[in-house]
Structure 1
Amino acid sequence: MTARERILAILRTDPADTDCSHALELIDLYVDLVLAGEDPEAHLPGAHVHLRECGACRRDFEGLLVAVRDIGAGCSP
């Protein structure tokens, strides 16, 4: 892959991707779906794509998921 092709791959955005602010608005619902055993991709495809592509938002989601699971298990934050 040439340098130009690498740059274009980095800049390419999945058209289903939502932006960070929209994904973060949905993150609590996304966590609820995961905890309920639902398929969040089916319900929130744009947020799913964004969380797959955006490391910062994915870390926020993972942290919230851990926190909610810990609270549900009776652990103190």
Structure 2
Amino acid sequence: MTDWQSAFNEFLSTDPTDVGCDEAMRVLEVYVDLVSTGLDAAERMPGVAAHLKACGPCQGDFTSLLDAVTDTPH
């Protein structure tokens, strides 16, 4: 598969609710607060949840921040 085909396939598989890196990072602290207090963050912020599933770097930031506020490795 060529580079453009891979990029096109990735584009087609993107969740339409995905908010993207900028928006996810803008509200990450709120999302982490919801998760750390036991609330269903994915239900309240589905676009952020979709993005964190798809973006490794943002997922890493989420995990690190969650670990920092809960003192429990995730």
TM-score range with shorter-chain normalisation?
Answer: 0.7 to 0.9
Residue in structure 2 matched with residue 31 of structure 1 by the alignment: 32
The 4+ residue runs of structure 1 with deviation greater than 4 A are: none
Distance (Å, rounded) in 2 between the aligned partners of 1:33 and 1:64: 12
Aligned positions, number:
68
Task: State the percentage of identical aligned residues.
Answer: 40
For structure 1, the residue ranges without an aligned partner over 5 or more in a row are none
TM-score, structure 2 as length reference: 0.81
Structure 1 match to 2:64: 63
| Cα RMSD for the two superposed structures | 1.7
> Normalization by structure 1: what TM-score?
0.78
Higher relative contact order (CA 8 A, sep 6+): 2
Kindly provide the CA deviation profile for residues 32-72 of structure 1, in whole angstroms up to 9, marking residues without a partner as x: 111111111110000000000000000000000001112xx
Contiguous gaps of at least 5 residues in structure 2: none
Higher alpha-carbon Rg: 1
